[in-house]
Structure 1
């Protein structure tokens, strides 16, 4: 027993001495630590994933290089190492050429991000010119070399993705010469390349025919229907439609518009320039969404204000109807129509109707205030964002039991139609806060990656709407199309006929949001493909945010939002709508927020 005890002590002393030698050799300067009596108490820390992130600059381009070294296991003498080069910034030419090398360098998301955002720093014609020049001098000694085959595969991937996701880029070229130059240079060794060549030649043929026969391809989006006949408008007819039916028809309209939305039209650098001379046709898909938002808000106003001879109790039924419609829109995850209705009910002409709100059912007012809270600007619209995140990909809306959603067809999944202003807010402020170029003049592509994160959310929501099926109700459609457009002055005039101005509204009976300023309508009209219908404008949340932002930042994007530091000068504007002191305002459009 003594011999065994002596052996154990000797072994412990040897291990302790050996561990001290290792420490002194590999960890010099480490403070002396009292040894544990047993080596079994030693703890070893071995990281399973080691990564190094550095920046490497080459001629005209800066890469963010990520080198990862992973633990190879006990049987592996060498740890595997992976290396990826993500483009951070570069010249215009280097960014375009990186499309052909991104996959081989491990930058797998570059093609998608570039095609979604390139219009903010270059043009389709310029991108095609750079790629065509490169195709005229392909790498590799011959067609069968490994370098040439990898290059050809990258070329097919880029143009296949581009043609599939953004075919309008090619159809808007006007001149077919670029496509006729590009098509013969595409690879000749694959069926996919032959298909690409055929598609490009078909588009070139369409462009040639359009140039020769412009009238046969005249854009029909500029066609405008005659204005509605106000004499045929029956405001109270909306009471005859079930709230669920109205919400279903509004959701149908909003869903069709949202599916056709082009995400890159929301980019701050494009949207903020929409009113510049020569850019009247840009961002048409966003403009269409705004037109619908304003049309619905106008319908709420007209139906509630037009019949000036109604008793307050009868007018209260109209408010209750639209509150029920808003609830049904919420149940269908149609946040765009929901906010349009809420905005109209919060507008000054309806907000000031003290007697009408007094006669409105208290439970309906309470539900209305809950719906209004969804779009509160508290914590940067945190409730709207959280709700959109929660229900963006869910099959059905998450509603309390007290909400009446029994009319919804639960057999079909529902898409989510967001209030587009949230995304326009994020992209406009991102464009304002982050530089387009680095100090050395390189295009800041990291900014485009951040913008793409917002665009990807829009595309995800669009995918949830693509399989939605609706039926059209002709009776409601006819009523909706018959609603006359009210100007700002007309709306306030009707409201004044209903209740004379000057009487304060009691607390707790009316909406909490008070609109104290509305800009002159003539400066707020939106042109969509040549159409310039009068639109009733409502306050946008982004304008307050951008007003504060301009105090700290100066950027071309902010100045393009039509900042006006003077009060309205329109003599016809009622005194109750005119602020007593000059305030900063932006050109307002309800969905541009």
Structure 2
């Protein structure tokens, strides 16, 4: 049997030598031996698809041959070197040649140069006869195709030559005919002319008439064609397209001017100032604030000049190439956008320098700036790209699909939308800084705390501040007095850390009141302050203001305490203010309830647990974070799934007020009210589910397993499964029989705006027992708060070091006092070892001085981080207050009487202290989690019900479901008194109407207008019309539900179904504008028309004084209509004074600079006010365009929701404050009577009748 294949050995040797001489690739390679143990260096030569190898380069005969047809050559990784290997494998590069059948072993080769390795791999990969054959076939096909093309071209060329020859023959023939005609013409001219006959003259007349008729018919036909085209959709589309382009030119000119002011009035002067002898700012800060600003100005100057050149060649408008110039420069914009937040932070930091602030105010006072601030100019480039996107949308809407520019415009729009998404995020993240700087600029005295970029703006509005009497009392009778409403009205601004109280001065400027900057960390909120019986009997004039006031007790650590009493205009407004203030206080104190419940040892606190929880700052598949912190010092959410948003809403460790407000405004976009309510019910019934599964280990980690607190994954997932439902509290033999009852009494709950009573938590039986157990065995000594008793007023201080024992503790009277244990620290101090126990009076004016612990540094009962201060915020009922106070006092005296313990020993007191088994401590934690979960559910429901009552007014099923759930909560036997009271307050808010707003509603006005008859215009005074117009505008504006502002429903085809109230507002605006134009055009007498115009201008000026800017725009837009504006004879008779007022009003409501003058007026006025709704709709369109509600990963764009929520917050501020204007049927019916109002065509026809067009 034949064992091998016979080859022509001589020929193979010849081919090997040929390969050695002229091969495609030649060189030395290391070849692995057959036993896979050693490598041998051979000299290889590649010829076509044959690989020869020789013993050396000088060998005359090949040692072997590999046929490469059908093989695969690839790089291979370096093998792991053995321990005995001496050669260095780092500089060796390997590749293998694999053959396509199983029995053939792969050829393994290596080189010492990576380039040589890659060239060998490429050469062997292409050494295939099949590849060459395929390439040859392809080239042959191309060759045949080109031959066919050449033959075709030859045929065409032959035909063209034939046509040229035929044309030359035809030209010669025509030339000969022309020559013959010219000869005949010369003969006719040379012959004598005959006399014209009468027939010839008649024929000429007929021809002349025929010529006139033909011309008239052609002109008539041409006119018909032109008119048909003018009325065609294509012409209408082109007109709108041209209008968009002209508007774009005006907007671009304005933008270039803004950039010019930014560079010339700020950038270049500040550069010069930075180079001065005593620079108020460094060059680095100037570069950081104005990054790429000058480059952007130069770019848009070029863009503007190109746009003007295109307009010059009108009606031919080619714009796509202009955007082709702009698109490559978008990376410059991108750098500006990404630097925007940092630039505003640097600006806020520099403004703390008085010299810089003074210099900046000088620059901003220049006439070119028009009272605009630097941060306003820095924000203009952020809005330019969205403006281009809107322009491109409009251009594409009016550009035919077959238009030559459509594809280019589509491409430009897609590129700009990508950058716009980044811009929206940056604008959203820096909006808070810009808002703070704008408010700080309005305050005459300045307010340095607003230059802190970590402050978050929450809400603003008008409240009445009640002045305190000399003895610190206030009678409720003064609350209803008219003088108090005028004198005590204050502008209040709530931030995440401070409450600013100002008065409004002349020109809209703000002035800080005495104690007008209130640090919320030092505040105690009392929502229902009660007056004495004598006061309530003696004065009943304040009954209309009953339950509208709330009290803030401020206890600064470095000055005397004081009280602020504020009165809201309605119960709903009061509830909104108190819920936001209490939530801000809770945010600052970082949920002291959870902090004390879950501390594990002296080195780990809840803020550190939050920092160690990677799910709160690391992006994941279902969440993306921003780089901005919220009010709880946790990264803001940029994109997230619905589940993660609901999880953040119910996370017991923190609840940011800005997140809560944004969520409640926007949840309808991505979920439903039933889903949110079901989530809250689940949290209440299964409290442990409120802790995210990924964070559960951090909460229940024992002090012996501290690694879990810093994010190390647990060895077993069992810990996250065993707490699927809250286990019952473990009652041990060492516990007091009343342990559970006392815990339920002493666990503090922040419900209904009531803040945290830390004394209650710290004095729980587990807390003080664990502290006491460090001094003596827990099994032998327990401390029962039931053994503490009260008798006489406090007359002595807590004993000093070694001053007494526990059986000599002083008796303390606490029956009418509230005790709070408060711990304070400076911002620079990470942890404080100082705690203060004090007794503060709440009702009796003769309460003795506060009791303070001298050696308070020895009893650090609570832990906190980064300057967090814990203080009591709401007095509890008498029983709980007495027990909590007694417990706190017992702990302090017990520690003092045992001598002076070291700081390290008593640095912290937590439920995880030594003295209790781990299971018992976990049981206490679960108990506190149940209380905190109940508090969170009630807190969210309170915000929801108080701020978004229309959700429950329009959805009866939802309302009944909430009431049913709250009634179920109230029947819970383990519910605390304060929790039960909070649930009852929410039910009361749902079921009772708010008596604070007695204003007539829009439906009542419309019903009365249907049956009534209006009086003529001449019988109405300008003041009556202005007041009733303001009342009607506000009634129409206030009923717009905020959910209509999402999704641009007012621009959709079914806008009347999606946004009926916005469309009613638009219709009301147009009806009033038509009414004004109709009234002007009603009379044929020019003097009457002039009087009507002057009267309506007076109405507009009164509306300006009433802050009804919507009516100002209604009237000025009516005067600018073509049917009114063209009345030249009428306008000549209008007085110069009236024209001056018109110019002032038009400048106020001009759309120039995104309504910059109107925005400034709104910023400087106090509600009530009626803004122009179109301004806000434009802002919302900027946000909506190019920014979808969901990302490609189906995550909710929460950054977009936050921006829309901030706009809605401003709108609702104006919606909620009603005008104190009485309804006057006479003027109101006239404004609502549309029976004689003309439409647009009727108005123009009437205008032409009064003043016909003058023929040219």
- On whether the aligned pair clears a TM of 0.5, the verdict is yes
For residues 336-415 of structure 1, the aligned pairs below 5 Å read: 336-391=1110-1165, 393=1166, 415=1168
- The whole-number CA distance in structure 2 between the counterparts of 1:172 and 1:132 is 21
Q: Normalising by structure 2, what TM-score? A: 0.29
| Aligned-partner SS, 1:441 | coil
- The whole-number CA distance in structure 2 between the counterparts of 1:374 and 1:178 is 48
Contact 2:1025–2:1228 under 8 Å retained in 1: no
Higher relative contact order (CA 8 A, sep 6+): 1
2:760 is the counterpart of 1:141: no
Which of 1220, 1226, 1229 does residue 478 from structure 1 map onto? Answer: 1229
Distance 1:269-1:122 versus aligned 2 partners, 3 A rule = farther
Deviation string for 1:225-267 (max 9, x for gaps)? 88799xx877xx4344332232122122223333444334333
- The whole-number CA distance in structure 2 between the counterparts of 1:494 and 1:319 is 16
| Aligned-partner SS, 2:1152 | coil
For residues 161-172 of structure 1, the aligned pairs below 5 Å read: 161-172=943-954
Contact 1:239–1:318 under 8 Å retained in 2: no
Q: Normalising by structure 1, what TM-score? A: 0.59
Contact 1:298–1:344 under 8 Å retained in 2: yes
2:1070 is the counterpart of 1:291: no
For residues 510-521 of structure 1, the aligned pairs below 5 Å read: none
Contact 2:623–2:644 under 8 Å retained in 1: yes
| 1:495 paired residue number | 1247
Deviation string for 1:493-548 (max 9, x for gaps)? 222222224569xxxxxxxxxxxxxxxxxxxxxxxxxxxxxxxxxxxxxxxxxxxx
| 2:586 paired residue number | none
| 2:1184 paired residue number | 431
- The whole-number CA distance in structure 2 between the counterparts of 1:226 and 1:474 is 8
| 1:62 paired residue number | 624
| 2:1017 paired residue number | 238
- The whole-number CA distance in structure 1 between the counterparts of 2:1174 and 2:685 is 44
- The whole-number CA distance in structure 1 between the counterparts of 2:1214 and 2:1138 is 30
Alpha-carbon shift at residue 121 of structure 1 (Å): 2.5
2:1036 is the counterpart of 1:257: yes
Distance 1:64-1:315 versus aligned 2 partners, 3 A rule = closer
Alpha-carbon shift at residue 55 of structure 1 (Å): 4.0
Deviation string for 1:79-137 (max 9, x for gaps)? xxx84243332111221232222x73352321111111222333323333444444443
Contact 1:304–1:315 under 8 Å retained in 2: yes
Tell me which moved more, 153-162 or 251-260.
251-260
Contact 2:687–2:929 under 8 Å retained in 1: no
Contact 1:90–1:442 under 8 Å retained in 2: yes
Alpha-carbon shift at residue 50 of structure 1 (Å): 12
Distance 1:108-1:120 versus aligned 2 partners, 3 A rule = same
- The whole-number CA distance in structure 1 between the counterparts of 2:1045 and 2:667 is 13
- The whole-number CA distance in structure 2 between the counterparts of 1:440 and 1:434 is 14
| 2:934 paired residue number | 152
- The whole-number CA distance in structure 2 between the counterparts of 1:369 and 1:436 is 41
2:842 is the counterpart of 1:91: no
Contact 1:258–1:462 under 8 Å retained in 2: yes
Alpha-carbon shift at residue 489 of structure 1 (Å): 2.0
| 2:984 paired residue number | 195
Distance 1:326-1:151 versus aligned 2 partners, 3 A rule = same
| 1:108 paired residue number | 657
Alpha-carbon shift at residue 300 of structure 1 (Å): 0.3
Contact 1:349–1:492 under 8 Å retained in 2: yes
| 1:451 paired residue number | 1204
Contact 2:617–2:635 under 8 Å retained in 1: no
Gaps of 5+ in 1: 1-48, 69-81, 204-218, 394-413, 505-593
| Aligned-partner SS, 2:1091 | helix
Contact 1:179–1:201 under 8 Å retained in 2: no
Distance 1:142-1:200 versus aligned 2 partners, 3 A rule = farther
Alpha-carbon shift at residue 154 of structure 1 (Å): 0.6
Q: How many residues are paired up?
A: 395
Alpha-carbon shift at residue 350 of structure 1 (Å): 1.2
2:1109 is the counterpart of 1:335: yes
Alpha-carbon shift at residue 288 of structure 1 (Å): 3.7
- The whole-number CA distance in structure 1 between the counterparts of 2:1036 and 2:1255 is 41
